Amino acid sequence: MVDATPESTFRGLPLTPEQDAEVRHYIKKKEQHGAPWDTPELAAMLRDMLEPPGDDDGALGATVEETKAATERATASVDDTIDPTEACEERNAAMETEGMRGPRR
């Protein structure tokens, strides 16, 4: 396989070999169907490849914290004296209930 360099990739963009192959495959498929390939879809694909989505100001961290809190609430609602299998089922049911309630604000 040829190394992908800015000189050898699509439009000289800094793409990985996998990304370059994906772009070239997209263009080939469009040409096979007689459709234009220089589309907004291709532009969006390239934009995603060159500028991967960010962290959204810690939104992922907030989701993790919400999940941890929901798990703790669900675990706290389960009686420790019951059978482990039944406790697991109860905890799963409590997690589903917490999920239906949505994030706490």
**How many domains is the chain partitioned into structurally?**
2
Compute and round to an integer the Cα radius of gyration of the chain: 24
Same domain flag for 64 and 85: yes
Note whether residue 70 is domain-resident. yes
Tell me, yes or no, whether 67 and 89 share the same domain.
Answer: yes
Instruction: Please check whether residues 14 and 44 belong to one and the same domain.
Output: yes
Q: Which SS3 state, helix, strand or coil, does residue 68 take?
A: helix
Whether the Cβ atoms of residue 17 and residue 3 lie closer than 8 Å to each other: yes
Do residues 43 and 18 both lie within one domain? Answer: yes
pLDDT, one tens digit per residue, over 51-97 is 866 655 555 566 777 777 777 776 666 666 667 777 777 777 777 77
Its domain, for residue 39, covers: 10-50
Residue 20 lies in a domain: yes
pLDDT of residue 7: 55
